[in-house]
A = this chain, B = another copy of it.
Amino acid sequence: MTATTRIVEVRRSVLKANDLIAAELRDRFERAGVCVVSLVSSPGSGKTAFLEKTLTLLRARGRRTSALVGDLATDNDAARLARSGAPVKQIVTGTVCHLDASMVRSALEGWDLNDLDFLFIENVGNLVCPASYDLGERIRVVLMSVTEGEDKPLKYPTIFNSADLAVITKADLAEAVEFDLEAATRSINTVRPGMDIRIVSAKTGQGMNDLMELWDRRR
């Protein structure tokens, strides 16, 4: 057996173990009636700003929301998200480049899921590895900012393909970076025809209220 064969086999068994835990989580989430949304993107594409605004708006509408947030190091994001008033827990992954279902399961210990309408899970900033790990979520959102280049979906097709919704962030910078929404939409549609695409700015609030309706509809 070559080294490559061995890696593929170990990877397969890891993913299979992950899928079992993810299925168990999905079952728990459904029974508790909590809508679980995961966020994946590059580092720095504005996941945390988007999530902070989302938590604040949902809570203002009386929705019971909380969040788990993954990072290799620091609890900066949890501290930032806690400003929304929502219960937030940081998952520190060390050198691991993605969240997996067992990390989510551990982080949820002590939380009563029946108390929640929404649970958001912010993955480690990485457009590659998180694609392979089911976290038991109902909706996976892939974010890309207007500053990243319109062909990102073509270069990282797997993660766009594994997501249910694409959110283009930092719309307030679109003009400064000459962002081409049509080209970005075309890229996304090439890897995932018919995908729901939204353009938002957490800073100005643009597009954020429309998303509230989407969350409520999917709840």
Selected from B95, B128, B144, B157, the residue in CB contact (under 8 A) with A124 is B128
- Chain B nearest Cβ from A129, distance in angstroms: 5
CA distance A158 to B71 in the complex (A): 12
Selected from B44, B76, B127, B152, the residue in CB contact (under 8 A) with A144 is B44
Selected from B13, B126, B147, B158, the residue in CB contact (under 8 A) with A72 is B158
Please tell me if the beta carbons of B42 and A125 are within 8 angstroms of each other in the complex. yes
Residue A218 is within 8 A (CB to CB) of chain B in the complex: no
Instruction: Give the chain B neighbours of A128 by CB distance below 8 A.
Output: 72, 95, 97, 124, 126, 129
Residue A193 is within 8 A (CB to CB) of chain B in the complex: no
- Which residue of chain B lies nearest to A6 when distances are taken between CB atoms in the complex? B10
Instruction: Give the chain B neighbours of A156 by CB distance below 8 A.
Output: 43, 72-73, 125
From 144 to 182 in chain A, residues with beta carbon under 8 angstroms from any chain B beta carbon are 144-145, 147-149, 151-152, 154-158, 170, 173, 176-177
Q: 5 A-B residue contacts at CB 8 Å?
A: A42-B44, A43-B127, A43-B156, A74-B154, A76-B154
